[in-house]
Structure 1
Amino acid sequence: MTDLSRASGRQGSLAEVFLVSLKLGLVSFGGPIAHLGTFHNEYVILKKWLDEKSYTDLVGLCQFLPGPASSQLGIAIGTIRAGVWGGIVAWFGFTAPSAVALVVFALLLRRFDFADASWIHGLKIVAVAVVAQAIFLLWKKLIRSVSQIGIAIGVAIALSFWNSSFAQITLIFAAGVFGYFLFKSRSDAEVFSFPIGISRRFAIICLCLFFGLLALLPAMRLFSSDTRLWMADSFFRSGALVFGGGHVVLPLLEKELVPVGLISEQDFLVGYGAAQAVPGPLFTFASYLGAVIDGIPGAILATFFIFLPAYVSIIGILPFWNSVRTERRVQGILTGVNCAVVGILIAAFYRPLWTDSIRSFGDFCLASVLVALLVFFKLPSWIAVIVGSLGSVLIRYLPL
C-alpha cells in the first residue's frame, strides 16, 4: 500500500500550496489532459509531494467523479499537503488567473460594442473546432463497443428532438441505468491508501451538501424569480452533472442560461471561444458568464457555485474511495454516463455551435483548418484562438 504522506516527508504550509498552484494556474494551457501532465511534472517530479503510484491513483479517482478533473486533482493534493484549507487555497491559486482574465474580457464586452466584430465571430468558430476535437478524443477514449456506440448516438438523436436541460439530465440518468446492467467489466486495479486527515464524518457532510443542494436549489427556484438564485441553481447543477471533461459544461450551461434570457447565444459562444485562450480550468467559463449577466457579483457567484460540486465531491469520496472503486456495478454506471456525455457533445456540436457559427463556405474552411491544427498537429488551443480570430478578419476580404 502506498502512503501519500510519505511522498514528501513533511506537511506543507498554506503559502507554499498557494504559490505552487498559482504558478500552475498561470502556465497550464491545453485543457485537462495537458493539465494532468503539467501537474505530474510539478507535484511528482519537481516537488516530490507524491509518488508515481499515488498520483496515478488520484488521477483515476478524479476521472471517476463529476466535475473538472484537474481542479479536483489540485484540491486533493492541496488537502493531502496542508489539510482542508490547503485544498481550498490550491483551488483558488489554480483558478484565479483564468477567472480574472475572463471577467475582464466580459466587462470589456459589456462596455464596448464590438460584439459584431469579425474577430469575435472567429472566437465562435474556434469553439466549433475545440468541441470537434473534444468529441474526437472522447470517442477514441470512451467508445469501445457496439452498445456504447448505441448509447452515444441514441442520446445525440434524442436531444435533436427533445433538447432541454431536463432532457440532458434524464438521458444521463438513463445511460447510467443501462450501464449498470450492460457494462460489468471486472476491475483488478490495486488499491492504494489515502491518509489525508479527513474524517468520514466531514466527508459525509460534504456528500450531504452535494446531494442536498442538487435537490434544494431547483425546488427553491420554483418559488422565486430572483436572478441570482436561478444562477446559483444553474451553475451548481451544471457543475454537478459534468462527466467526461470541461467541454461537456457547454451544452449544460447553454440550456440553463440562454433559453431563459440570462445571456444571448452570441455572447455565450464568444465567451466559450475566449475561454480557450487562457490557462487554467475551462470551468472558469462560468466566471465570464456570471460577469456578463451580473457584473462582478455575478462572476463571484457563478465561479463559486460551478466549482462547489467539484470540491465537496472529491473531499466527500476520498475516505471511501478504496472500497468503492473496485465495485463493478459502479464502474458500469460510469461507463454508461460517459457514453451519454459523448452523445450530448455531438448534439451540442450541431446546435448551437454549428448552426450559429458556420455561416459561409469561408467559415467552414476556417473551422476545418482549426480542427486540423488541434487534432492532427496537436497545437495548443490558444494558437487556435489566434488563428481563428485573424482568419475570420481575413475572410471578410476574400470572395468566399
Structure 2
Amino acid sequence: MSSLEHRPPLPSGSSLGVFLVFLRLGLTSFGGPVAHLGYFRTEFVERRRWLSDRAYADLVALCQFLPGPASSQVGMAIGLQRAGVLGMAAAWAGFTLPSAVLLLAFAFGVSALGDLSQAGWVLGLKAAAVAVVAHAVLGMAKSLTPDARRATIAVAVMASVVLVPGSLTMLGALFMAGILGLLVCRPQHDPAESGDTFPVRIRPAVAAISLAVFGLLLGGLPILTMLTGNATVGLFDIFYRTGSLVFGGGHVVLPLLEAETVQTGLVESGTFLAGYGAAQAVPGPLFTFAAFLGAVTTSGPGGMAGASIALIAIFLPSALLVLGVLPFWGRLRRIVGVQRALMGVNAGVVGLLAAALYDPVFVEGVTGVASFLVAVLSFVALASWKAPAWAVVFAAAGLGIVLL
C-alpha cells in the first residue's frame, strides 16, 4: 500500500468559509446542546449536504461517548472535515465567540443586568428550541429507525433516560443500544464501500500525540499547580479538568463548575447564579459560561484575561479528543460488527434526542398555552414552510416579547 493511501483527503472548503457558517450558528443557535444538534443537522445535512444523516448520527454517537460539550465537538469535527485543523479551529471560534463575548459583557455588568431567565424573548427562544429538537428527532428517525428493531431500540433508550435521568444512564443506554444492534441489526451495504463514513482529516500519528497531550495535561496540571501555587495555572487546571471529566455536556457541567469555583471561594454564589441566568439567554454552547466565571474570579487574572484562559482551558480537552479519536473511529466503523453496533447506537441517539425533547426541552420550553402556541408555529415554519432555523428563532423571540 503506497504512502499516498495514508494521506488524509484534502480539505474541501476554506477555514474562512467554515468560520462564517459557524459564526451564524453561534449567533442564532439557542436552546442548549440538544437544540444545537438540531440546528447542525438542518444546516449541514439538509441545507448544505456536507454529510449524510447516517454519518452525522455516527458523529453524534461518538461525541456522546466523549467527555465535554457534544455539540461543540460535533462542530469541531465538521470543521475538521471541511478545512482541516484550521477549519476545526474556525468552527470552534465561530460557534463559541458570540456567546463568550456576551457572557463577558454580562460579567462586567452583572449587578445591573440581573436575572434574564424569565424575560419574554428568552421564553420565546426556549419555545423555539422545542420545535427545533422535534424537527430533528423526526428527521433522524426517518432514516435511522426505519424498521421495528431499531425503532424499539430507540424507544427503549428513550424510556431508560426519561425514567432514570443522568449522564451515566445516557452512556449505559447507548452502550446497551450498541449491544442490541450487534445482536439484531444487519447492515444492508458493504461497510468498506459505504459513502456514509465520516472522513478522517488528521494523520494517526498526530492523533496519538493529541491523546498523549490530553493525558499529560490532565495528570500534570494539578501537580504543576501544587508545586508553583500560581493562580493562573490553577485557573487553567480547574477549567481543563472540568472539560476533561464531564460527560453529557450542557447543564451537566454546572454542578462541577459550582464545586470548583463557588465552594472554593473563587466566585461568589450570587454572582454564579446571575451568570447562570445570563447563560440561558445567549446562543451557543453552555460551556462558554466558563468565560463569565473566569472574568469574575476573585483569584487569578480575572477580567478578559481570566475569561480567555477559562474558555480555552474548558474546550481544549474536546479539541484534543476529537483530533485523537476521529482517525481511529473511521477505521473501526468499517468493521461489520462495528457497523451493526452503530446501527443500534444510531437508533439510541434518536431515543436520546426524543428523551431530551421531553425533558428538559419541552418541560422548560412549554410552560403554558402561549409558549405552546409559539412552539407549534415554529415547528410549522420549520417543517412545512422550510424556513431557516435562525429566522424561526428570531421570530419566536419576537412572539415571546408579545405573548409571554
Query: Normalising by the residue count of structure 1, what TM-score does the alignment of the two structures yield?
Result: 0.68
Cα deviation, residue 382, structure 1 = 1.3
Tell me the SS of whatever aligns to 1:339: helix
Q: Does the C-alpha gap of structure 1 residues 378 and 237 become closer, same or farther in structure 2, counting only changes over 3 Å?
A: farther
Name the counterpart of 1:176. Answer: 178
- Alpha carbons 2:240, 2:314 under 8 Å: kept: yes
Name the counterpart of 2:359. Answer: 351
Does residue 107 in structure 1 map to residue 104 in structure 2?
A: yes
- Paired with 2:322 and 2:24, the residues of 1 have a C-alpha distance of 22
Name the counterpart of 2:290. Answer: 290
Q: Does the C-alpha gap of structure 1 residues 139 and 32 become closer, same or farther in structure 2, counting only changes over 3 Å?
A: closer
Deviates more, 1:61-70 or 1:93-102: 61-70
- Paired with 1:164 and 1:6, the residues of 2 have a C-alpha distance of 37
What is the count of residue pairs matched by the alignment?
A: 339
Unpaired segments ≥5 residues, structure 1: 42-54, 80-86, 221-225, 242-248, 276-283
- Paired with 1:236 and 1:382, the residues of 2 have a C-alpha distance of 31
Q: For residues 323-342 of structure 1, what are the structure 2 equivalents within 5 Å?
A: 324-342=332-350
Aligned to 1:382, which of 384, 390, 399?
390
- Paired with 1:377 and 1:266, the residues of 2 have a C-alpha distance of 38
- Paired with 1:375 and 1:38, the residues of 2 have a C-alpha distance of 13
Cα deviation, residue 109, structure 1 = 4.2
Amino acid at match of 1:288: T
Cα deviation, residue 381, structure 1 = 1.6
- Alpha carbons 1:135, 1:345 under 8 Å: kept: yes
Aligned to 1:370, which of 360, 373, 378?
378
Cα deviation, residue 394, structure 1 = 0.9
Cα deviation, residue 395, structure 1 = 0.9
Cα deviation, residue 368, structure 1 = 0.8
- Alpha carbons 1:5, 1:195 under 8 Å: kept: no
Name the counterpart of 2:157. Answer: 155
Name the counterpart of 1:51. Answer: none
Cα deviation, residue 150, structure 1 = 1.5
Aligned to 2:168, which of 163, 166, 169?
166
- Alpha carbons 1:21, 1:94 under 8 Å: kept: yes
Q: For residues 25-104 of structure 1, what are the structure 2 equivalents within 5 Å?
A: 25-26=22-23, 31-35=40-44, 65-66=62-63, 68-69=73-74, 71-79=76-84, 87=85, 89-104=86-101
Unpaired segments ≥5 residues, structure 2: 29-38, 64-69, 224-233, 260-270, 296-306
Q: Does the C-alpha gap of structure 1 residues 172 and 353 become closer, same or farther in structure 2, counting only changes over 3 Å?
A: same
Name the counterpart of 1:308. Answer: 320
Q: Does the C-alpha gap of structure 1 residues 196 and 62 become closer, same or farther in structure 2, counting only changes over 3 Å?
A: closer
TM-align CA RMSD: 4.4
- Paired with 1:368 and 1:113, the residues of 2 have a C-alpha distance of 30
Cα deviation, residue 370, structure 1 = 1.0
Task: Write the deviation string for residues 254-299 of structure 1: whole angstroms up to 9, x where unpaired.
Answer: 2343598579999779756743xxxxxxxx5144332344441333
- Paired with 1:194 and 1:379, the residues of 2 have a C-alpha distance of 28
- Alpha carbons 1:130, 1:371 under 8 Å: kept: yes
- Paired with 2:257 and 2:200, the residues of 1 have a C-alpha distance of 42
- Paired with 2:199 and 2:177, the residues of 1 have a C-alpha distance of 34
Task: Write the deviation string for residues 40-90 of structure 1: whole angstroms up to 9, x where unpaired.
Answer: 79xxxxxxxxxxxxx88x9688578436555324314434xxxxxxx1x22
Amino acid at match of 2:323: Y
Amino acid at match of 2:378: L
- Alpha carbons 2:18, 2:87 under 8 Å: kept: yes
